[in-house]
């Protein structure tokens, strides 16, 4: 078994990056932590001990999530749960025993820097990233 330590990051898809940046930076006090090249389309904002990722629709990452968010299209790409340190093999066994076939772990950037994580789907097909706490 594993224990959740907190939310690492969430990913919002947008067609209006400038307005989103103004809101999250000027209104909520976030700061830009990391930006990828424009064609990738990711801006990561520091929000306390977590990140809010803004992904531009039409970019490489944005195209992976389908059309622009509307009343009927998803705006949230995925959310990431930070879990307390556990062996990857133990986590994989727990997921497998629970009827979830996880893909391979990959190194990704999150609120605590680079680390290993895995994507799974909840029963409603929302993507949940499990990230082992550093």
pLDDT at position 17: 92
Q: Give CA torsion, residues 62, 67, 72, 76, to 10 deg.
A: -10
Quote the number of domains for the chain.
1
Domain range holding 15? 4-132
pLDDT at position 34: 96
Of the chain, the percentage scoring pLDDT greater than 90 comes to 40
Look up the CATH number of the domain holding residue 60: 3.10.180.10
Supply the pTM of this predicted model. Answer: 0.70
pLDDT at position 46: 95
Per-residue pLDDT of the chain (134 residues; tens, 9 = 90+): 789 988 999 988 888 899 989 888 987 889 999 999 988 999 999 998 999 999 998 899 888 877 777 767 767 888 898 888 999 999 999 889 988 887 789 999 998 899 999 998 876 677 889 998 87
């Amino acid at each position: 078994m594993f224990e959740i330590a907190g939310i690492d990051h969430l990913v919002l898809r947008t067609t209006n990056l400038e307005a989103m940046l103004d809101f999250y930076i000027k209104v909520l006090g976030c700061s830009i932590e990391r930006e990828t090249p424009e064609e990738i389309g990711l801006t990561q904002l520091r929000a306390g001990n977590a990140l809010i990722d803004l992904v531009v629709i039409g970019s490489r990452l944005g195209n992976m999530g389908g059309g622009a968010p509307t009343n009927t299209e998803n705006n949230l790409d995925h959310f990431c749960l930070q879990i307390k340190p556990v062996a990857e093999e133990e986590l994989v066994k727990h997921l497998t025993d629970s009827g979830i076939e996880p893909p391979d772990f990959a190194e990704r950037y999150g609120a605590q820097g680079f680390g290993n994580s895995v994507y799974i789907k909840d029963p409603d097909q929302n993507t949940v990233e499990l990230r082992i706490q550093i």
